[in-house]
Amino acid sequence: MQFHLNGFRAGDPLVKEAATDVEGAIDNDGLPESVDVLIVGSGPAGLTLAAQLAAFPDISTRLIEAKAGPLALGQADGVACRTMEMFAAFGFAEQIEQEAYWVNEVAFWKPDAQRPEHIERNGIVQDTEDGLSEFPHVILNQARVHDRYLEHMRNSPSRMEVDYSRSVVSVTPSKNDGSAVVEIERTDPDHSGQTERVTARYVVGCDGARSVVRKSIGRVLHGDSANQAWGVMDVLAVSDFPDIRRKSAIQSSSEGNVLIIPREGGYLVRFYVEMDKLTENERVASKKITVEHVIAAAQRIMKPFTLEVKDVVWWSVYEIGQRICDKYDNVFESGPERPLPSIFIAGDACHTHSPKAGQGMNFSMQDTFNLGWKLAAVLRGQAIPELLHTYSEERQVVAQDLIDFDREWAKMFSDRPKDSASGEGVDPKAFQQYFVKKGRFTAGTETHYRPSMIRGADTWQNLAQGFVIGMRLHSAPVIRQADAKPMHLGHVARADGRWRLYAFAGANDLGSGAFSAIQNLCDFLTTASESPLKQYTSKFADIDAVFDCRVIFQQSHCDVAEQDLPLLFRPRKGKFGLIDYEKVFCPDLKSGLDIFDLRNIDREQGCLVVVRPDQHIAHVLPLTAHTELAAFFDAFMIRESDQN
């Protein structure tokens, strides 16, 4: 983490210097008449988007919430490995790691072969495969995740806060300029019944499964219910169940199934408990299920083990259902002449599924992590507005994959153990194998975007087979050359809207000389008129304001001469023209974890890996593919000379 670029500043370096005109942006007494972005709903999706846009004080953003204040106790709790990687971009992954419960293993239980009314352990498997991510799968109260986002927003240059007690009445797209008019009702005691009208260039509905924003644009959730009621409870309990502090999936012979999720703090445990079947068109509310019913069902399923609930922290009942919108914005037309979107939906507003796959909160945050940088790029004049079409195109497709997985997973979990006589039900062994098979999906690392204006073809994928185009950057250990610091390459990227250009040097290339592909690439990027750095970076900005360029050599950090490197990798920045020494990396040869081997990078040629601001790989190119690099960005970015 770099600070002091523009002068020494005492205090917490995580608290960014406030923008000079930020005071009006934090006046919560009333909303402005117009904003660039209005976010509706301060759940995981809304906060992820707000946290991104808070980095840009030149973009006027407001986040409104119907509730009276921040979430105190959240429903969701699972934080996938991929989401932890995303948290690293916001700078609070380590805080989450320290506080959360780590899911290291999963125990599977089935009916006892000798006494079917009792359960027995069927096996224990590793939760996440080795090397899938540098971060663990963790469990943490959703409210604590919200707290981290809120802190990040308050510490940002925008000093962004949530405007609570505001309910959206309607959202109406403008017929003239593509903006939207939002009617809002205040519900706080001092302003109850008062209305506000805000004109927003873009509206993002993160307002849940009953989204007013979704209804305003005529979108509908499609899908069905599995006709199965489940109870969920966070409890403090005493039990002789041996895996009470291990994630456990329990199948009983006749009483239903239980999923146990240990929680943070060492004592709290969450139970997902199968309850009654629902008839067609029957709703879970009609069953009048109480917490006592949920506890009793768990006790029956877990026999011969005992469960004595001492305190119920939170509980609820729900029905399994998988529903999704066919599109995530207000554009119903197709084709190149279609209108530009101005209203978007994200999270539960456009897709719902069961909580047992642990993807609800995670997938919602990934929605707006995809959208945020695109909105920023368009609003700042860096990218064409057509870029915004890619949000729905990318996220709806991968959400459908999630829906299909969740439907199969929920069905297997709700089925009875296989009956040897009839052959009906699910084999406990097959259930366990399916969990292992889909481990990457539940970890959140399987998202794979299709080719588009911001996702290149697979022509040169062979140059870096471990950096799959369209998937997230799979980080790996490196050594920072300047100070020999061991770190992860992926951790240098922050949620700041910048593109990353990672140049992996070929054999014997130390970054200098006429035959150096690294030197020639840097010459192109810094001097050629068609260079993306020259075309899209303001002459008044630091050279890495839009593109963050880094180099990774194959040699030991001791063998790389910093003084011989191209100036692009030791740029002068800020008002003092200070040198940035953190652009150069080498393999972690001491540990044996060589990034070139780990990610199967062509050692002879090297390659250039282009990474989007949301950590997904946009392209893999030869170091010599200067024309192709320029053409890729020219398809959607706006030249600095053409920016307003």
Local confidence band at 381 (pLDDT 50, 70, 90 cut-offs): very high
Closest CA to 286 of 213, 229, 356: 229
Active-site residue flag, 173: no
Active-site residue among 148, 159, 166, 263? 263
Per-residue model confidence (pLDDT) at position 598:
98
Element of type H or E holding 596: helix 595-598
In this predicted structure, the answer to whether residue 510 has a pLDDT above a threshold of 50 is: yes
In this predicted structure, the answer to whether residue 23 has a pLDDT above a threshold of 50 is: no
Q: What is the mean pLDDT of residues 372-378?
A: 98
Per-residue model confidence (pLDDT) at position 336:
83
Local confidence band at 577 (pLDDT 50, 70, 90 cut-offs): very high
Least confident residue range of 17-31, 343-357, 487-501, 605-619? 17-31
Residue 173's beta-bridge partner residues? Answer: 180
Count of CB atoms situated within 10 Å of the CB of 428: 19
Residue 182: helix, strand or coil by DSSP? Answer: strand
Q: What's the one-letter identity of residue 380?
A: R
Q: Can the peptide bond before residue 566 be classed as cis, meaning omega within 30 degrees of 0?
A: no
Per-residue model confidence (pLDDT) at position 432:
83
In this predicted structure, the answer to whether residue 75 has a pLDDT above a threshold of 80 is: no
Active-site residue among 262, 355, 428, 587? 355
| Inter-residue contact 73 to 141 (CB < 8 Å) | yes
In this predicted structure, the answer to whether residue 159 has a pLDDT above a threshold of 80 is: yes
Count of CB atoms situated within 10 Å of the CB of 541: 11
Length reported for the chain: 644
| Inter-residue contact 599 to 467 (CB < 8 Å) | yes
Q: What's the one-letter identity of residue 366?
A: Q
Active-site residue flag, 272: yes
Handedness of CA 618, 624, 629, 631 (dihedral sign): negative
Q: What is the mean pLDDT of residues 215-241?
A: 89
Question: Would you give the DSSP letter of residue 216?
Answer: H
Local confidence band at 286 (pLDDT 50, 70, 90 cut-offs): low
Q: What is the mean pLDDT of residues 441-469?
A: 95
Local confidence band at 225 (pLDDT 50, 70, 90 cut-offs): low
| Inter-residue contact 162 to 70 (CB < 8 Å) | yes
Q: What is the mean pLDDT of residues 187-198?
A: 94
Per-residue model confidence (pLDDT) at position 9:
85
Pairing of strands 547-552, 584-587: parallel
Local confidence band at 570 (pLDDT 50, 70, 90 cut-offs): very high
Q: What is the mean pLDDT of residues 18-30?
A: 62
Per-residue model confidence (pLDDT) at position 283:
61
Per-residue model confidence (pLDDT) at position 458:
97
Q: Alpha carbon of 422 to those of 140, 418, 425: distances in Å? A: 41, 8, 9
Handedness of CA 7, 12, 16, 19 (dihedral sign): negative
Q: What is the mean pLDDT of residues 54-74?
A: 94
Least confident residue range of 413-417, 608-612, 618-622? 413-417
CA–CA dist 326, 396 (Å, integer) = 7
In this predicted structure, the answer to whether residue 33 has a pLDDT above a threshold of 60 is: yes
DSSP per residue, 1-33:
----TTS---S-TTSPPPPTT-GGGG-TTS--S
Active-site residue among 36, 57, 77, 348? 77
Per-residue model confidence (pLDDT) at position 3:
87
| Inter-residue contact 536 to 640 (CB < 8 Å) | yes
**In the chain, pLDDT over 70 holds for what percent of residues?**
95
Element of type H or E holding 392: helix 389-414
Q: How big is the CA angle at 390 (ends 600 and 324), to the nearest 5 degrees?
A: 100
In this predicted structure, the answer to whether residue 420 has a pLDDT above a threshold of 90 is: no
The rounded mean pLDDT for the chain is 92
10 Å CB burial of residue 224 (0-12, 13-18, 19+) is exposed
Per-residue model confidence (pLDDT) at position 429:
83
- The values of phi and psi at residue 551, to 5°, are -125, 145
Q: Can the peptide bond before residue 571 be classed as cis, meaning omega within 30 degrees of 0?
A: no
Per-residue model confidence (pLDDT) at position 358:
59
Tens digits of residue pLDDT in 287-316: 788 999 999 999 999 999 999 999 999 999
In this predicted structure, the answer to whether residue 441 has a pLDDT above a threshold of 90 is: no
Active-site residue among 272, 328, 449, 502? 272
Closest CA to 555 of 518, 501, 526, 609: 518
Per-residue model confidence (pLDDT) at position 278:
57
Tens digits of residue pLDDT in 304-353: 999 999 999 999 988 767 899 999 999 999 888 899 999 999 999 999 88
Local confidence band at 166 (pLDDT 50, 70, 90 cut-offs): very high
Tens digits of residue pLDDT in 80-128: 999 999 999 999 999 999 999 999 999 999 999 899 999 999 999 999 9
CA–CA dist 635, 631 (Å, integer) = 6
| Inter-residue contact 405 to 354 (CB < 8 Å) | no
Per-residue model confidence (pLDDT) at position 403:
84
Least confident residue range of 224-233, 366-375, 490-499? 224-233
In this predicted structure, the answer to whether residue 24 has a pLDDT above a threshold of 50 is: no
Least confident residue range of 253-262, 425-434, 469-478? 425-434
Higher pLDDT, 356 or 435: 435
Q: Which two tokens stand for residue 167?
A: 């309910």
E strand spans, 526-634: 547-552, 572-573, 578-579, 584-587, 607-611, 617-621
DSSP per residue, 520-563:
HHHHHHHH-TT-HHHHHS-TTS-TTSSEEEEEE-SS-GGG--GG
Q: What is the mean pLDDT of residues 621-626?
A: 98
Higher pLDDT, 375 or 11: 375
